[in-house]
Amino acid sequence: MSNSLEGKIAVVTGASQGMGREIAKAYASEGAFVYAAARSESKLKSLCDEIRADGGSAELVVTDVTDEGSVTNLFNKAGSAHGKIDIAFLNAGGDPYPESITDSNVKNWLSVVDLNLSSAYMCSKFAIPHLKNSDGGKIIIMGSGMGHNGSSEASAYSVAKAGVWMLTRVLASELAEFGISVNEICPGPVKTPGALESWSKQNNNVSTVGTEWVKESEDVLPLCIFLATQPAIGPTAQSYSLMRRTS
């Protein structure tokens, strides 16, 4: 525990399992007060109990990132309690309906876009007023290589993550004058519960690429901590990738 985030207030969405859970734990271990957000209260309680048992500070906020009122409540709760938010890690997302555009169900396709892109927009929007009170606030968004290269077997997810990358750049430009940096992480394939379920529905998913690095959630943490600890004048509008694919 290096306490590199001592005194920082961090909000992590999608924190009930997978990468979000590990990111929340890592930020708490570095000294941040973590607001862990997801839909599952029982999983969030387990996470916060674990963080506190290890000497960290955390509070759970049951949140549906596709619901405006729920997102507003999350960021207002964290920001009002501390007068600021330093880090908004927008991890929530996934691909529960991997399918081509031709074979897609319209309702399912649009729901994947909402889960990944609309949620990132709303979380950013309602985090901004509180990030402005930080000395170098940070938005870190979980992107995907599919948002840069695309996949016909995951059309909605690919399109949504492409939007996330553009959202990252637009936000970075909009918020530069306030010292708020906005960056994207593309972790490549990570063996999270959601990813494993999605891959099981695809014939040629990214984890089958022989030269790819198929990771555990813990493998992504050094990059997540790196971005959270950069100075206010540090990188923004960047996409950081742990992929080994070139196309």
* Order of all β-strands in the sheet with 57-62: 57-62, 33-38, 9-13, 87-90, 138-142, 181-186, 238-241
C-alpha 43/C-alpha 168 separation (Å) is 29
Answer with the residue of higher pLDDT: 60 or 1: 60
What is the pTM assigned to this prediction? 0.93
C-alpha 104/C-alpha 101 separation (Å) is 5
Q: For the stretch 54-72, what's the b/e string if a residue is b when 16 or more beta carbons lie within 10 angstroms of its beta carbon?
A: eebebbbbbbbbbeeebbe
Is the model's pLDDT at 204 over the cut of 80? no
**What integer is the mean pLDDT of 139-153?**
93
Residue type, 46: S
Residue type, 129: P
Under the banding of pLDDT at 50, 70 and 90, the label for residue 1 is low
φ/ψ of 12, rounded to 5, equals -125, 120
Q: What is the pLDDT of residue 47?
A: 98
User: Which tokens go with 151?
Assistant: 């996949």
Averaged pLDDT of the chain:
94
Q: Which residue has the tokens 């992590």?
A: 12
Answer with the residue of higher pLDDT: 193 or 230: 230
**What integer is the mean pLDDT of 20-39?**
98
Which residues are designated catalytic?
A: 157
Q: What is the pLDDT of residue 209?
A: 66
Is the model's pLDDT at 172 over the cut of 60? yes
**What integer is the mean pLDDT of 64-85?**
98
User: Which tokens go with 64?
Assistant: 């549906």
End-to-end CA distance of the chain: 37
Under the banding of pLDDT at 50, 70 and 90, the label for residue 199 is confident
Residues composing the chain: 247
Under the banding of pLDDT at 50, 70 and 90, the label for residue 247 is low
φ/ψ of 67, rounded to 5, equals -115, 120
27-31, 76-80, 144-148: which has the minimum mean pLDDT? 144-148
Is the model's pLDDT at 62 over the cut of 70? yes
Answer with the residue of higher pLDDT: 200 or 115: 115
